[in-house]
Amino acid sequence: MPHCHIVSDPAHPDVWDSNHVDDVTARTEPEIDAVFAAMDEHLSHTRWRVVHTDGFTPDAFLARLAFDDFKEWPVTIQMALRGDLTDRGATIDLRPVAGDADWDALLELVLANHAEGRRTGGLDLSPEFSAAVVVGYRAKSGAYHFHLAMRDGVAVAYGA
């Protein structure tokens, strides 16, 4: 869209990671209204209206979110790697998620992550929801690379 990027997956309407808005550049009232109209159009299959914001999100758009009663969730610190992934001698083996067994291991880690509740604000998420998140991860794995951290042959963490 002209003033934002919308991710939409009607097959998984309750997975907010598969249905959200990010990279908002809208600054004026007409631009902001256009983003909200685009959300209504492209996210009509879901009850969620999740907007990812960062330090580059215009203040006017943040104010509109607050005015429209959007609730802010705790910040998840995400880091982006520029360049090649390297091994700095850690006691783990970091490897790309490649086959079905790796995706199964990733699902087990996502299930544990959701059960812990820290990233999801304590929501009670079903195993089906967690599985749908991993389906979404797998669908975008061509452009978004997932890795497992292995210790003694057991997956202990994941990242992308």
> Tell me, what's the pLDDT at 59?
95
Pairing of strands 50-51, 93-96: unpaired
Residue-wise pLDDT for 9-49, tens only, equals 999 998 877 899 999 999 999 999 999 999 999 999 998 89
* pLDDT on residue 89: 67
Q: Report residue 11 as tokens.
A: 């097959």
Query: What is the pLDDT, as a whole number, of residue 30?
Result: 97
Predicted local distance difference test score (pLDDT) of residue 76: 64
Q: What is the pLDDT of residue 7?
A: 92
Can you give the pLDDT at residue 87?
A: 65
pLDDT in the model for residue 27:
97
CB-based contact 78:119 (threshold 8 Å): no
**pLDDT < 50: residue spans in the chain:** none
* Domain locations along the chain: 5-67, 93-159
Q: Is 3 exposed, middle or buried (0-12, 13-18, 19+ CB in 10 A)?
A: buried
Greatest alpha-carbon span in the chain:
56
Token look-up 């009232």 returns 29
Contact yes or no for 24/61 (Cβ under 8 A): yes
User: Rounded to whole angstroms, how far apart are CA atoms 37 and 8?
Assistant: 14
The secondary element (H helix, E strand) that includes residue 98 is: none
